[in-house]
Amino acid sequence: MNLPKKRILVMTAVQAERDAVLRGLKGDQRFDVCLAGVGPAAAAANTARILATAEYDLVVSAGIGGGFPGRAEIGSLVVANEIVAADLGVATPKGFMSLDELGFGCTRVQVDLRLVNRLTEALLAANLPVSAAPILTVSTVTGTAESAAEMAARVPGAAAEAMEGYGVAIAALDRGLPVLEIRSISNLVGPRDRNAWRIKEALAVLETASSVFLEVLL
């Protein structure tokens, strides 16, 4: 019996990340790898546009990201066990209040933990340093030690920060599709230091991780 072929949409912010994922997928036609653009709004709009054109079984937000010190080091991978819009809310004199706390919506997207575990275990089996943890989506990149500490405390256990996951996730949820996010850590979240970035290395890890998708996600 021919099982229906799964189709998976992978969204990356920029072309360099898309190229890395495509190299890892080795041309497998069951994956479409498309550009989300940088930031949650562009990611939501571009993901929604693509999901309107074809039938998919799973949506993945993939790319580089910042790792919270002590939780995800440069060169490691983080698979989201929750995708959180960490700066969607209001700043008050008593601190940040999320949209959830305000009663205006949901900033925390749940993911299929069975899929997360399968992917994480496969990445570990491929000798890749990986953890499953909440990944934060921000519109403003964290750039100071104080804001990094505040952000890490805002979502207990958060291991990484990026800018597209929540946007991709909302578009997937709107179509009733499961979503995953995977980030290859290129820098530590904290004081801005572009010289400390290891983008080339992170893209190489993203490529290797993408080759594992073939074994697990189909």
Ligand X SMILES: O=C(O)c1cccc(C(=O)CC[C@H]2O[C@@H](n3cnc4c(=O)[nH]cnc43)[C@H](O)[C@@H]2O)c1
Residues that bind ligand X in the complex, under the rule CB under 6 A: 13, 38, 63-66, 138, 141-143, 161-164, 186-187, 189, 192, 194
> In this complex, which beta carbon is closest to ligand X, that of residue 72 or of residue 122?
72
- Beta strands (DSSP E) in the chain are 8-12, 31-35, 58-67, 77-85, 89-92, 95-98, 108-110, 130-137, 160-162, 179-188
Spatial neighbors of 40 by CB under 8 A, at least 6 apart, are: 85, 137, 139, 163, 164, 165, 166, 167
By Cβ distance, which residue is nearest to ligand X?
66
Q: How many helices (H) and strands (E) does the chain have?
A: 7, 10
Shortest distance in whole angstroms from residue 39 CB to ligand X: 7
Shortest distance in whole angstroms from residue 15 CB to ligand X: 11
Shortest distance in whole angstroms from residue 205 CB to ligand X: 13
Shortest distance in whole angstroms from residue 156 CB to ligand X: 19
> In this complex, which beta carbon is closest to ligand X, that of residue 101 or of residue 193?
193
Answer positive or negative: Cα dihedral of 36, 42, 48, 49: negative
Distance between CA atoms of residues 12 and 126, nearest Å: 22
Shortest distance in whole angstroms from residue 60 CB to ligand X: 14
> In this complex, which beta carbon is closest to ligand X, that of residue 61 or of residue 98?
61
The string of DSSP letters for 34-81 reads: EE--SSHHHHHHHHHHHHTTS--SEEEEEEEEEEPTTTS-TT-EEEEE
> In this complex, which beta carbon is closest to ligand X, that of residue 88 or of residue 163?
163
Shortest distance in whole angstroms from residue 102 CB to ligand X: 24
> In this complex, which beta carbon is closest to ligand X, that of residue 142 or of residue 210?
142
> In this complex, which beta carbon is closest to ligand X, that of residue 139 or of residue 211?
139
Q: Are the CB atoms for 96 and 199 separated by under 8 Å? A: no
